[in-house]
Every structure is written in structure tokens, then in C-alpha cells.
């Protein structure tokens, strides 16, 4: 489901870009960054964060992890905070986008490693699972960093 969301967001960002008056690489990259932050890391992940807090055992099991413990609650609040910061990308642009893009890139890269290790530990690491994990986790980190670099925001001074 999340892979289809990613495709829809990238398509939406492309249409937005081509319909706009200014068609520069930086503007396209910033649009892609905003679409990814709000549409993938923001709004849907606020829902996931709320699910993690409201139904911690069900959410942990649904995400493939053992439920329980304070660590899961800490993670749930951090996840919700990251998601809310990503949603703010729709309002705040420019150098503001650096923080949520870097935070979510680290998260998605780490989630890729954790899921791959978990699959390997269970003896279930096959090509299909690697591709599914990369398409919904690792690819997002790559796209966020790529869009951030292409946007030129890292070169701007505050």
C-alpha cells in the first residue's frame, strides 16, 4: 500500500511541477521534498503514530515486532513528533525542510537495516522481502536525500 502511495506522490509532484510557471531543478526538487515529507512521512505517519499510541500491542504485532515496554511508548511519541514536523513542510519551506528531511532519512535508513536484520534472523530474507523493504523504507531515504541535495537548500545560509 505504501509503495502505491509513493508512486502517487511522485506523480502528483511531477504534475505540480509541470503545471507551474517556474521549472527549475531546485523548484522541482523542493516540490518533491515537500510531497514526500507531507504525503509520506507526515499525514500517513501521524495516523501510524496515533495507532502506535492507541493500540500498542496490535500496532507492534502489525509492524512485525514484539509488543510492550516503555521503549515502545517512547518510540511512539518520537514517531508522532517526527510526523508532525513533516506535516509542517506544507507551510514552511526553504531551510526548514532540511531538518525533517534529514531526520526522516535517518529513520528510514535505520528502519531498512532493522527490517533486513529481522528478516535475516528469522531466515526469511528473500529477494521479495528485500525489495519490499527497500521500496517502502530505503527508497524513501534515498529520495529525501536526493531531493534535499538537488534543491540546493544545503548550500543556503540562514
For residue 46, pLDDT over 90 is answered with yes
For residue 17, pLDDT over 80 is answered with yes
For residue 158, pLDDT over 70 is answered with no
The mean per-residue pLDDT over the stretch 119-126 comes to 86
Residue 123, class by beta-carbon neighbours within 10 Å (0-12 exposed, 13-18 middle, 19+ buried)? exposed
Residue 40 — very low, low, confident or very high, per pLDDT cuts 50/70/90? Answer: very high
Q: What number of other Cβ atoms are within 10 A of residue 64's Cβ?
A: 11
Q: What is the pLDDT of residues 54-92, one digit of tens each?
A: 998 888 888 777 787 788 888 889 999 999 999 999 999
Buried b (16+ CB within 10 A) or exposed e, 75-104: bbeebbebbebbbebeeeeeeebbebbebb
Amino acid at each position: 500500500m505504501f509503495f502505491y502511495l509513493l508512486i502517487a506522490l511522485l506523480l502528483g509532484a511531477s504534475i505540480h511541477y509541470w503545471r507551474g510557471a517556474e521549472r527549475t531543478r531546485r523548484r522541482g526538487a523542493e516540490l518533491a521534498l515537500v510531497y514526500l515529507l507531507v504525503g509520506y512521512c507526515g499525514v500517513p505517519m501521524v495516523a501510524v503514530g496515533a495507532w502506535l499510541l492507541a493500540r500498542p500491542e496490535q500496532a507492534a504485532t502489525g509492524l512485525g515486532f514484539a509488543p510492550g515496554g516503555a521503549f515502545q511508548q517512547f518510540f511512539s511519541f518520537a514517531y508522532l513528533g517526527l510526523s508532525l514536523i513533516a506535516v509542517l513542510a506544507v507551510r514552511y519551506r526553504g531551510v526548514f525542510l532540511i531538518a525533517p528531511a534529514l531526520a526522516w532519512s535517518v529513520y528510514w535508513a535505520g528502519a531498512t537495516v532493522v527490517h533486513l536484520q529481522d528478516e535475516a534472523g528469522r531466515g526469511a530474507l528473500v529477494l521479495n522481502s528485500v525489495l519490499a523493504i527497500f521500496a517502502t523504507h530505503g527508497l524513501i531515504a534515498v529520495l529525501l536525500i536526493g531531493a534535499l541535495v538537488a534543491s540546493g537548500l544545503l548550500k543556503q545560509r540562514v
